[in-house]
Amino acid sequence: MKGKILICDPVDNIMIEKLSEKFDIDNDPEITRDELLKRIKDYDVIIVRSRTKIDKDIIDNAKKLKIIARAGIGTDTIDVDYANEKGIKIVYAPGSSTESVVELTLAFAVIAARQIIRGVENTRKNDFTKLKGIELSGKRLGIIGYGRIGRAIANAFKAFNVSSMAYDAYPVDFTGAEQVSLDKLLMDSDIISINITLRKDSPPVLNEKELSLIKNDAIVINTSRANAIDPKAFLKILREKNIVYISDVFWHEPARFDYEFEMLKLPNVIITPHLGAQTKEAQKRIAIMTADNILKEWA
């Protein structure tokens, strides 16, 4: 007898192809939370991405659920502890979007350094005023979170003659970067790249004290988790200093609160709509790895 899968967010078709032999699949990428609460009781496996949050209430309604799969590199949208209590297995796709995130980080650094967004906005208004930027060459990159993606970013930036230092709260291999304290990284970096994973209830890594250490004219890049930063404290810092914040993640997507709307209006803030893994290649790798991990746990 086949198991039943509910797919709650858009995924590459290759995932459905790989799973269809052993599962009956309902693909409903626009399912609402209310619908999910009603329907989850009928499924053995649920597949989500960043849009769908799997919390205690949904897990309580999941009478047959054996596997929660996150088609991505993190599990912060899932109440992992409660799922574990209920004996539900969690699978995801670590490392599947590394190349895409590294390329986006490089692009962000160039965009911020050369004022490309402002330049494009100006020329759309037929304003061809020349804007002076900075070169990346010779600058220091500070990487917060030196896992697989952090190491790949350090290696990629070597092509720009950028040296790297890194901080990680856990013991990791610091090959390719100088290991430093978080305070030193924040004070000495010309470019800061945030590349950490967080649990749903994790406190920010960068609060007002840490954020105040970032030097004027620094570029802060975030392609991992908005919750790594205290947003209200950062809004204050962004108003006081000439820091460019360029991020692929936001606290709420779309924005909900006043501090978010205020930040979006700042000229030194550039936010993109969560594009990190949005390449054809990454989505295919994520789909294949997630499907393979589901099949391993189901066997």
- Active site residues per annotation: 225, 253, 274
Give me the count of residues in the chain.
299
* Neighbour-count burial of 237, counting CB atoms closer than 10 A to its CB (0-12 exposed, 13-18 middle, 19+ buried): buried
SS3 192: strand
Rg of the chain, C-alpha, whole Å: 21
Helices (H), the chain: 13-19, 33-39, 56-61, 80-85, 98-113, 116-124, 148-157, 182-188, 208-211, 231-240, 258-265, 280-298
Residue pair 12/287 in contact by the 8 Å Cβ criterion: yes
> What type of residue is 181?
S
Residue 167: C-alpha distances to residues 81, 98, 141, 217 (Å): 27, 19, 11, 21
